[in-house]
Amino acid sequence: MNSIIEAAFSRAGAVLLALVVLCGIGLSAFNEIPKEATPDIDIPVAYVSVGYKGISPSDAERLLIKPLEKHLRTVEGLDVMKSVAAEGYGSVSLEFAANENIDRALADVRQLLMMPNRIYQRMPMSQRLSKLTCHNFRF
Protein backbone atom coordinates (compact mmCIF):
# COMPACT_ATOMS: atom_id res chain seq x y z
CA MET A 1 0.00 0.00 0.00
CA ASN A 2 2.83 2.39 0.86
CA SER A 3 4.48 1.75 -2.50
CA ILE A 4 1.30 2.86 -4.35
CA ILE A 5 1.16 6.08 -2.35
CA GLU A 6 4.87 6.77 -2.88
CA ALA A 7 4.50 6.12 -6.63
CA ALA A 8 1.54 8.57 -6.83
CA PHE A 9 3.52 11.29 -5.03
CA SER A 10 6.59 10.79 -7.19
CA ARG A 11 4.47 11.02 -10.39
CA ALA A 12 2.13 13.90 -9.49
CA GLY A 13 1.85 15.06 -13.11
CA ALA A 14 0.70 11.65 -14.31
CA VAL A 15 -1.86 11.43 -11.50
CA LEU A 16 -3.28 14.87 -12.39
CA LEU A 17 -3.40 13.95 -16.08
CA ALA A 18 -5.30 10.73 -15.24
CA LEU A 19 -7.73 12.75 -13.09
CA VAL A 20 -8.38 15.24 -15.93
CA VAL A 21 -8.89 12.40 -18.44
CA LEU A 22 -11.34 10.60 -16.13
CA CYS A 23 -13.29 13.83 -15.53
CA GLY A 24 -13.42 14.43 -19.30
CA ILE A 25 -14.73 10.90 -19.91
CA GLY A 26 -17.34 11.40 -17.18
CA LEU A 27 -18.57 14.70 -18.63
CA SER A 28 -18.70 13.19 -22.11
CA ALA A 29 -20.75 10.23 -20.83
CA PHE A 30 -23.09 12.57 -18.95
CA ASN A 31 -23.74 14.62 -22.10
CA GLU A 32 -24.45 11.47 -24.13
CA ILE A 33 -27.12 10.14 -21.73
CA PRO A 34 -30.58 10.78 -23.20
CA LYS A 35 -32.62 13.22 -21.12
CA GLU A 36 -36.26 14.22 -21.31
CA ALA A 37 -37.05 17.91 -20.81
CA THR A 38 -40.36 17.36 -19.02
CA PRO A 39 -40.66 13.77 -17.84
CA ASP A 40 -44.03 12.47 -16.65
CA ILE A 41 -43.63 11.83 -12.96
CA ASP A 42 -46.32 10.19 -10.88
CA ILE A 43 -45.75 10.85 -7.23
CA PRO A 44 -47.47 7.98 -5.43
CA VAL A 45 -49.11 10.13 -2.75
CA ALA A 46 -52.75 10.31 -1.72
CA TYR A 47 -54.09 13.13 0.42
CA VAL A 48 -57.24 12.78 2.52
CA SER A 49 -58.67 15.89 4.14
CA VAL A 50 -61.58 16.13 6.55
CA GLY A 51 -63.34 19.28 7.68
CA TYR A 52 -65.31 19.43 10.93
CA LYS A 53 -66.48 22.89 11.95
CA GLY A 54 -65.64 24.07 15.45
CA ILE A 55 -63.46 21.12 16.51
CA SER A 56 -60.25 21.69 18.46
CA PRO A 57 -56.94 20.25 17.22
CA SER A 58 -56.82 17.65 20.01
CA ASP A 59 -60.41 16.58 19.26
CA ALA A 60 -59.62 16.53 15.52
CA GLU A 61 -56.78 14.15 16.25
CA ARG A 62 -58.95 11.92 18.46
CA LEU A 63 -62.15 11.97 16.38
CA LEU A 64 -60.83 12.34 12.82
CA ILE A 65 -57.17 11.47 12.46
CA LYS A 66 -56.90 8.35 14.63
CA PRO A 67 -59.91 6.58 13.04
CA LEU A 68 -58.72 7.55 9.54
CA GLU A 69 -55.23 6.25 10.28
CA LYS A 70 -56.65 3.02 11.67
CA HIS A 71 -58.64 2.33 8.48
CA LEU A 72 -56.13 3.67 5.96
CA ARG A 73 -53.27 1.69 7.50
CA THR A 74 -54.70 -1.40 5.78
CA VAL A 75 -54.21 -0.06 2.23
CA GLU A 76 -51.81 -2.31 0.35
CA GLY A 77 -48.47 -0.79 -0.69
CA LEU A 78 -48.57 2.01 1.90
CA ASP A 79 -45.07 3.21 2.71
CA VAL A 80 -45.45 6.36 4.87
CA MET A 81 -48.46 7.93 6.58
CA LYS A 82 -48.36 11.50 7.93
CA SER A 83 -51.20 13.33 9.66
CA VAL A 84 -52.05 16.91 10.58
CA ALA A 85 -54.74 18.03 12.99
CA ALA A 86 -55.79 21.68 13.20
CA GLU A 87 -58.78 23.64 14.37
CA GLY A 88 -61.77 22.48 12.33
CA TYR A 89 -59.62 20.31 10.10
CA GLY A 90 -57.66 17.07 9.83
CA SER A 91 -55.63 15.56 7.00
CA VAL A 92 -53.76 12.36 6.29
CA SER A 93 -51.04 12.06 3.66
CA LEU A 94 -50.38 8.55 2.32
CA GLU A 95 -47.14 7.84 0.49
CA PHE A 96 -46.96 4.61 -1.47
CA ALA A 97 -44.03 2.55 -2.73
CA ALA A 98 -42.63 3.83 -6.04
CA ASN A 99 -43.60 0.69 -7.96
CA GLU A 100 -47.14 0.62 -6.54
CA ASN A 101 -50.12 0.95 -8.88
CA ILE A 102 -51.38 4.34 -7.67
CA ASP A 103 -54.75 4.04 -9.41
CA ARG A 104 -55.49 0.82 -7.54
CA ALA A 105 -54.22 2.31 -4.28
CA LEU A 106 -56.46 5.38 -4.72
CA ALA A 107 -59.41 3.11 -5.45
CA ASP A 108 -58.68 1.23 -2.22
CA VAL A 109 -58.48 4.51 -0.29
CA ARG A 110 -61.77 5.76 -1.76
CA GLN A 111 -63.44 2.43 -1.02
CA LEU A 112 -62.32 2.61 2.62
CA LEU A 113 -63.60 6.18 2.88
CA MET A 114 -66.98 5.31 1.34
CA MET A 115 -67.65 2.28 3.55
CA PRO A 116 -70.44 2.65 6.08
CA ASN A 117 -68.20 5.06 7.84
CA ARG A 118 -67.26 4.18 11.38
CA ILE A 119 -65.82 7.68 11.64
CA TYR A 120 -69.33 9.11 11.43
CA GLN A 121 -70.49 6.98 14.33
CA ARG A 122 -68.21 8.82 16.77
CA MET A 123 -69.49 12.29 15.83
CA PRO A 124 -72.56 14.11 17.10
CA MET A 125 -75.36 14.38 14.53
CA SER A 126 -75.10 18.18 14.50
CA GLN A 127 -71.42 18.10 13.47
CA ARG A 128 -71.00 15.57 10.68
CA LEU A 129 -68.08 15.75 8.30
CA SER A 130 -68.44 18.82 6.12
CA LYS A 131 -66.14 17.48 3.37
CA LEU A 132 -64.03 14.40 2.85
CA THR A 133 -61.71 14.40 -0.16
CA CYS A 134 -58.98 12.18 -1.60
CA HIS A 135 -56.38 13.42 -4.11
CA ASN A 136 -53.43 12.04 -6.03
CA PHE A 137 -50.60 14.38 -7.04
CA ARG A 138 -49.50 14.02 -10.67
CA PHE A 139 -46.85 16.13 -12.33
Q: Which range has highest mean pLDDT (15-29, 65-79, 117-131)?
A: 15-29
pLDDT of residue 130 exceeding 70, the answer is: no
> Is residue 121 in some structural domain?
yes
**Is there a single domain that holds both residue 59 and residue 101?**
yes
pLDDT (tens digit per residue) in 93-107? 888 887 778 788 888
Looking up residue 57, the CATH number of its domain turns out to be 3.30.70.1430
Residue 123: partners with Cβ closer than 8 Å, 6 or more residues away: 52, 63, 129
Count CA within 13 A, CB hemisphere, residue 70.
Answer: 10
- The answer to whether residue 112 sits within a structural domain is yes
Residue-number span of the structural domain to which 115 is assigned: 42-138
